[in-house]
Amino acid sequence: MQFSDKIYVAGHRGLVGSALMRRLEKGGYSNIVTRTHAELDLKDQRAVTEFFAQEKPDHVFLAAAKVGGIVANNTYPADFIYQNLMIQSNVIHAAYSNEVKKLLFLGSSCIYPKFAPQPMKEEHLLTGVLEPTNEPYAVAKIAGIKMCGAYNRQYDTNFMSVMPTNLYGLGDNYDLQNSHVMPALIRKMHEAKIRGDAQVSVWGSGTPRREFLYGDDMADACVFLMENRNANDTGEFVNIGVGEDITIRELAERVAKVVGFHGELVFDSSKPDGTPQKLLDVTHLNKLGWRAKTAMDEGIGKAYQDFMRRYGA
């Protein structure tokens, strides 16, 4: 990417999108195009086609998506598959039609089989059944990967796909019904501390293992790939993570320590655990020249500070 190139960040208000904006601006990129959902509904094919024809972006970061935790995915499966398929199909095709130089599509580690070998390598895609609670979302993201690859083969485009692990950080969603585990725990612990509660209930048994990547690290990896690599380098897609995981119990204990909640943690085994383990193999990414920088306790601290700025009152 050249500093003068026009860069479109789709989903610039989300956790990854806002991190991309910070990283791009810090890196000296000033010709950045954005649209809010009210200004451009990415599910509307005609609107997306007109936007690309008018703006003619050189590079696209496709971070727009309908996302959520296990509750949201399990409750609104039709919304998750429909909205994500429409968003990514419209943007990817419009990027091809308007000769975008390079596009980066953000997927999710839920694309891997529920019982995939650990750590999960890129070649484990489509080697087993998916986790039922988020299968519609995963199918949509798999379709996005395959769509980018198909356009590369047929039209010689330069569309890369990346699969991030669980993300957290600045600008996260703290709605207890729709958020991921990290922001949900931050909010639960904070509210329990304020009320003086003796205990906090945590979904599941606490035994599943998860990997967590700070959002600004994710953005840094994406910009690194767009600046230094092409689709031929990354293959069908590349994992983005830290290469280490912890149990949900350990995560809850770390969040409680950072937030300052000193009560008891009670694990509700009647609630679903989801996939037993989701750890990405990041060997490929490391060989391409990038590694995560933010330690988890540091990242949780920054996330909690952001939560306090936005919702502390």
pLDDT, residue 148, reads 98
pLDDT, residue 67, reads 84
DSSP 120: B
Under 8 Å between Cβ of 216 and 254? no
312 is in an annotated binding site: no
> How far is residue 209's CA from residue 295's CA, in Å, rounded to a whole number?
17
Task: Express each pLDDT in 148-207 by its tens digit.
Answer: 999 999 999 999 999 999 999 999 989 877 778 899 999 999 999 999 999 999 989 999
> How far is residue 12's CA from residue 62's CA, in Å, rounded to a whole number?
9
Under 8 Å between Cβ of 226 and 1? yes
Q: Which CATH number fits domain 7-172+211-243+278-294: 3.40.50.720, 3.20.20.140, 3.30.930.10, 3.40.50.1370?
A: 3.40.50.720
164 is in an annotated binding site: yes
- Residues 275-281 have a mean pLDDT of 89
Query: In this model, does residue 313 exceed pLDDT 70?
Result: no
- Residues 59-72 have a mean pLDDT of 88
Q: So where are the chain's domains? A: 7-172+211-243+278-294
Q: pTM for the complete prediction?
A: 0.93
Task: Express each pLDDT in 139-148 by its tens digit.
Answer: 999 999 999 9
Task: Express each pLDDT in 235-262 by its tens digit.
Answer: 999 999 999 999 999 999 999 999 999 9
The set of residues, in sequence order, having a beta carbon less than 8 Å from that of 150 and lying 6+ positions away, is: none
165 is in an annotated binding site: yes
> How far is residue 278's CA from residue 274's CA, in Å, rounded to a whole number?
10
DSSP 280: B
- Among all chains, which residue has been given the structure tokens 């943007």? 91
- Residues 12-37 have a mean pLDDT of 96
62 is in an annotated binding site: no
Higher local confidence (pLDDT), 278 or 59: 59
Per-residue pLDDT band for 73 (boundaries 50, 70, 90) equals confident
Let me know if 137 is a catalytic residue.
Answer: yes
215 is in an annotated binding site: no
146 is in an annotated binding site: no
Catalytic residue among 29, 137, 168, 304: 137
Looking at the DSSP bridge assignments, the partners of residue 164 are 240
Q: What's the distance, CA 125 to chain centroid?
A: 17
